[in-house]
A and B are shown apart, each in its own frame.
Chain A
Amino acid sequence: GAGVSQSPSNKVTEKGKDVELRCDPISGHTALYWYRQSLGQGLEFLIYFQGNSAPDKSGLPSDRFSAERTGGSVSTLTIQRTQQEDSAVYLCASSLDRGISQPQHFGDGTRLSIL
């Protein structure tokens, strides 16, 4: 398909382990965003990429969270030393460019559960 693809769709891991979440944006989309959806906090912005650069990391909740994007395409969100409060659905979105009128297209998300 031509949509945003995220993997894995579900991830269960033990507290303290590291996890990597992957996002394949729509081909040709230069802007890529990560959000987190949790019951208590709703939908929160985490990080924004334009190409391979991340000019806005203001939403990352702690230094345990990091992300990278390579080749202007695939992005990986890494959470180190996971905590139970990291349990949430992590959503990736892409848009053609960063213009405010450009709609963001979302993947189905990765549901992360920390035991």
Chain B
Amino acid sequence: GDSVTQMEGPVTLSEEAFLTINCTYTATGYPSLFWYVQYPGEGLQLLLKATKADDKGSNKGFEATYRKETTSFHLEKGSVQVSDSAVYFCALSGSGYSTLTFGKGTMLLVSP
């Protein structure tokens, strides 16, 4: 079945550091890929998405490129802020009824 593997956290960075959170997936067919973010005490919010190979999703300075050859969708940001501290979930939506399969989440902690 479909699966998503994310790097384990927490990831601890200083403000303005470069961020990479690795995500790889296993799926049949051609899934869509998503990053969701959960800020402390809040619900899941869509951060960005990509629906086909080589697409780049971007939002709020975050980027991720759909790499079919390496089955990856790594999240990057050039300069993190304290307000980026949250849990980040990589997810895919495959064939069938489009239910989301999530990774286990990666906590990001950014210190001033």
- Which residues of A are in contact with B by a Cβ distance under 8 Å? 31, 33, 35, 42-43, 45, 48, 50, 55-56, 59, 91, 93, 95, 98-109
The answer to whether B34 and A91 touch across the interface, beta carbons within 8 angstroms, is no
Please, which residues of chain A bring their CB within 8 A of the CB of B46?
A: 103-105
The answer to whether A43 and B89 touch across the interface, beta carbons within 8 angstroms, is yes
Please, which residues of chain B bring their CB within 8 A of the CB of A103?
A: 34, 46, 49
Looking at chain A's contact residues, is the secondary structure mostly helix, strand, loop, or mixed? strand
The answer to whether A106 and B43 touch across the interface, beta carbons within 8 angstroms, is yes
Bound-state CA distance A95–B32 (Å) is 14
Please, which residues of chain A bring their CB within 8 A of the CB of B51?
A: 100-101
The answer to whether B31 and A108 touch across the interface, beta carbons within 8 angstroms, is no
Question: Given A107-B43, A108-B43, A100 and B95 touching (CB < 8 A)?
Answer: yes
The answer to whether B102 and A91 touch across the interface, beta carbons within 8 angstroms, is no
Bound-state CA distance A105–B44 (Å) is 8
Can you sample 24 A-B contacts with CB below 8 Å? A33-B100, A35-B100, A42-B102, A42-B105, A43-B89, A45-B100, A48-B99, A56-B97, A59-B99, A93-B100, A100-B93, A100-B95, A101-B49, A101-B51, A103-B46, A104-B46, A104-B100, A106-B36, A106-B44, A106-B45, A107-B43, A108-B42, A108-B43, A109-B43
- Most central of A31, A55, A106, A108 by chain B CB within 10 Å: A106
The answer to whether A42 and B99 touch across the interface, beta carbons within 8 angstroms, is no
* CB closest chain-A residue, reference B43: A108
The answer to whether B43 and A33 touch across the interface, beta carbons within 8 angstroms, is no
Contact string, B85-106, partner A, CB cutoff 8 A, digits 1/0? 0000100011111111111110
Chain A nearest CB from B32 CB (Å) reads 5
Bound-state CA distance A101–B89 (Å) is 17
The answer to whether B97 and A50 touch across the interface, beta carbons within 8 angstroms, is yes
Besides A102-B93, A106-B45, 14 other CB < 8 A contacts? A42-B103, A42-B104, A42-B105, A43-B100, A45-B101, A91-B43, A93-B100, A98-B97, A99-B98, A101-B32, A101-B49, A101-B93, A103-B34, A104-B93
